[in-house]
Amino acid sequence: MILESAVSAPLAPPLQISRWFNTPAPLDLMQLRGKVVVVHAFQMLCPGCVQHGLPQTQRLWQLFRRDDLMVIGLHSVFEHHAVMGPPALQTFIQEYRWDFPIGIDQPAAHNPVPLTMQAYGLQGTPSLVLLDRRGRIRLQHLGRIDDIMLGLAVGQLLAE
Amino acid sequence: MILESAVSAPLAPPLQISRWFNTPAPLDLMQLRGKVVVVHAFQMLCPGCVQHGLPQTQRLWQLFRRDDLMVIGLHSVFEHHAVMGPPALQTFIQEYRWDFPIGIDQPAAHNPVPLTMQAYGLQGTPSLVLLDRRGRIRLQHLGRIDDIMLGLAVGQLLAE
Amino acid sequence: MILESAVSAPLAPPLQISRWFNTPAPLDLMQLRGKVVVVHAFQMLCPGCVQHGLPQTQRLWQLFRRDDLMVIGLHSVFEHHAVMGPPALQTFIQEYRWDFPIGIDQPAAHNPVPLTMQAYGLQGTPSLVLLDRRGRIRLQHLGRIDDIMLGLAVGQLLAE
Amino acid sequence: MILESAVSAPLAPPLQISRWFNTPAPLDLMQLRGKVVVVHAFQMLCPGCVQHGLPQTQRLWQLFRRDDLMVIGLHSVFEHHAVMGPPALQTFIQEYRWDFPIGIDQPAAHNPVPLTMQAYGLQGTPSLVLLDRRGRIRLQHLGRIDDIMLGLAVGQLLAE
């Protein structure tokens, strides 16, 4: 299967977020234990994110009960920082009507790569990270992922 | 969840097949115990089957290991029998290059609805039936089913 | 441009049709002089026709005024004749709800290729033939043709 | 037909552009007389533009000879000005690899609507404007336009 074995899978590092959208309170992976968590790392000007990753994430959010599954967008800007700041992201979210929780990956002091992206070792956008109910990273995928494959992976984690 | 509870789910009736394609030997649900089984009931001249159901079934077949998952096409002709006979189906399979196992649902003597379709109570095509590893019907769906949703259901059954 | 020059373009041979669907009377290219004519040659079990060519032809039929433009489907069966006969085609037309005029290309006595297909020298299906208002063949294309390109060619002929 | 009659069509006002991309020199409608001109007015954070209008414009640009047809993108920002400035647009063009000429519609002093958008009376984005070889506005369309329909309109203008 495409999932990492539960035995060897590492615990997910905390999300380091400078600002949240679409959520009344900040989200904390510790408090999400017991749920399967899908994290979609994107940049608002990344074509593959806009055309495939974000619509797929939005559909996941609409399809499934939120008790079992949490969907999080992570805006991990590692290039063109000047034009993808918080006001630009806010407009992007509003115009595209994304309504799942989205957090801005905390910029680093002396590194273009933001802190959560560094901690997870993400290589680019779009990236998908799946956490099981115990907070372990069971899938980390760079690039486009097939809808059936994504559903299958999430389904397996939900059944554990 | 969309799956029927394992407790109340009925055992799947046997497939009644007059002819198989794309398999060296007839398939028997009893011998498939231990695997998750996806049965896609279609008619070769049903637009929803040709445009959505069959391509989705073909993708499932390509994506996953066959040890765990078996994918079966069921040609359940309940109308226009004269033009969807075995030679027409054979040409259809060849031209579209479907390569998963496909069985012809056994015609009934005095009923336009074939025997397997009757036994499962299928209401039309496309229909999707998901069996768990113990041969129970956990999902029966008439019409189009979303790729993510299908993956999720299959993933849950694989994880059981 | 993609169109054949009006000067060198040959006159289109007559359509040889054994049976018409979706038209109160047989269509005759001579009587269509003054209109631009789009002929889409297909086979009902040809995947490229079903997935692309026929939906595109149906859209052309819906989009444009019929005074200026005539759209004709030509069922040119050159293989698997036994399973693509008139009753099969009739069911296919009914199930897919194609509503533009469709004619069955007249079978030849000692040749699998039907008569109109022979006369036009069509190499397979899907094929598209565009006739100008004076009945000359200005485009003959085997395989998929882009929507914009098709619109452009038709637009140029309509403007002549 | 969908085109405005040549007799009643108004002359297109000049484009008022503060900065050009993807062109060695500014484009001037007067100098484009003799060509058919397609102007696609968009905003970089408008979903309908990104998903449909800009890819369609890019395809037009790739499909046709540039001697006959000129394709121009017009960045007409009338909302969220702060996040769709020139550096943001430049990144957007670079990331999506649009390679047709794009001009920034000149901002107005006391009006959120930029000057060219005002002069043409455009009601929003995406908008499409087609000019004939004599520089007259023959089509002005707000919202999505079908590929076949666009091709047809352009084809008619090319043939005049």
**Averaged pLDDT, B78-89:** 98
Tell me the pLDDT band of A38, cut-offs 50, 70 and 90: very high
Q: Is B147 in contact with A147 (Cβ distance < 8 A)?
A: yes
Angle at C42 between CA C23 and CA B144, to 5 degrees: 90
| Nearest Cα to Cα of residue C43 among B74, B76, B99, B96 | B96
- Put simply, whether D148 touches C (Cβ < 8 Å) is yes
Share of chain D above pLDDT 70, in %: 98
Structural contact between residues D131 and C135, judged by C-beta atoms closer than 8 angstroms: no
Domains annotated for chain C, with CATH where assigned, are 17-159 (3.40.30.10)
**Averaged pLDDT, D145-156:** 94
Tell me the pLDDT band of B150, cut-offs 50, 70 and 90: very high
Three-state secondary structure string covering D47-70: HHHHHHHHHHHHHHHHHCCCCCEE
Is residue C133 predicted with pLDDT exceeding 60? yes
The Cα of C93 is separated from the nearest Cα of chain B by a number of Å equal to 10
The Cα of A149 is separated from the nearest Cα of chain B by a number of Å equal to 6
- Put simply, whether A67 touches B (Cβ < 8 Å) is no
The pLDDT tens digits of the residues spanning C53-65 come to 999 999 999 987 6
φ/ψ of C13, rounded to 5, equals -65, 160
pLDDT at site B66: 66
| Nearest Cα to Cα of residue D105 among D29, D5, D14, D10 | D14
pLDDT at site B1: 52
**Averaged pLDDT, C17-22:** 98
Which amino acid belongs to residue B67?
A: D
Helix, strand, coil: what percent of chain C each, to 5? 35, 20, 45
Q: Alpha helix locations (H) across chain C?
A: 47-48, 54-63, 86-96, 115-120, 147-159
Closest chain A residue to D91, measured at CA: A80
- Put simply, whether D128 touches C (Cβ < 8 Å) is no
The Cα of D26 is separated from the nearest Cα of chain C by a number of Å equal to 27
Is residue B87 predicted with pLDDT exceeding 70? yes
**Averaged pLDDT, A107-117:** 97
The pLDDT tens digits of the residues spanning D99-139 come to 999 999 999 999 999 999 999 999 999 999 999 999 999 99
Share the mean pLDDT of chain B. Answer: 96
**Averaged pLDDT, B103-122:** 98
Cis peptide before D126 (omega within 30 of 0): yes
**Averaged pLDDT, B56-69:** 87
Lowest average pLDDT, out of A60-69, A149-158, C54-63, D94-103, goes to A60-69
Lowest average pLDDT, out of B127-141, D52-66, D90-104, goes to D52-66
Tell me the pLDDT band of C2, cut-offs 50, 70 and 90: confident
Tell me the pLDDT band of D56, cut-offs 50, 70 and 90: very high
Share of chain B above pLDDT 70, in %: 98
The Cα of C87 is separated from the nearest Cα of chain B by a number of Å equal to 7
Structural contact between residues B36 and B111, judged by C-beta atoms closer than 8 angstroms: no
Closest chain C residue to B51, measured at CA: C51
Share of chain A above pLDDT 90, in %: 91
Which chain C residues contact residue D139 at CB under 8 A? Answer: none
For A145, the 3-state DSSP assignment is coil
For A88, the closest of D47, D88, D96 (CB atoms) is D88
Report helix angle C147-159 to D147-159, nearest 10.
40
Residues 6+ apart with CB under 8 A from D100: D22, D57, D58, D61, D71, D72, D73
Share the mean pLDDT of chain A. Answer: 96
For C60, the closest of D63, D148, D155 (CB atoms) is D148
pLDDT at site C64: 77
pLDDT at site A1: 52
Q: Is C96 in contact with B51 (Cβ distance < 8 A)?
A: no
Tell me the pLDDT band of A125, cut-offs 50, 70 and 90: very high
Q: Is C83 in contact with B91 (Cβ distance < 8 A)?
A: yes
Lowest average pLDDT, out of A94-98, B33-37, B56-60, D4-8, goes to D4-8
Is residue D1 predicted with pLDDT exceeding 60? no
The pLDDT tens digits of the residues spanning D27-45 come to 999 999 999 999 999 999 9
D partners (3+ CB pairs within 8 A) are A, C
Which chain A residues contact residue B147 at CB under 8 A? Answer: 146-148, 151
Q: Kindly provide the ipTM of the predicted complex, given to two decimals.
A: 0.93
The pLDDT tens digits of the residues spanning B14-54 come to 999 999 999 999 999 999 999 999 999 999 999 999 999 99
Is residue A140 predicted with pLDDT exceeding 60? yes
Distance, CA of D65 to CA of A61 (rounded, Å)? 45
pTM above 0.90, yes or no: yes
Structural contact between residues A63 and A155, judged by C-beta atoms closer than 8 angstroms: no
With touching defined as 3 or more inter-chain CB pairs under 8 Å, the answer for chains C and A is no
**Averaged pLDDT, A16-29:** 97
Share of chain A above pLDDT 70, in %: 98
Structure-token match 């029998």, residue found: B81
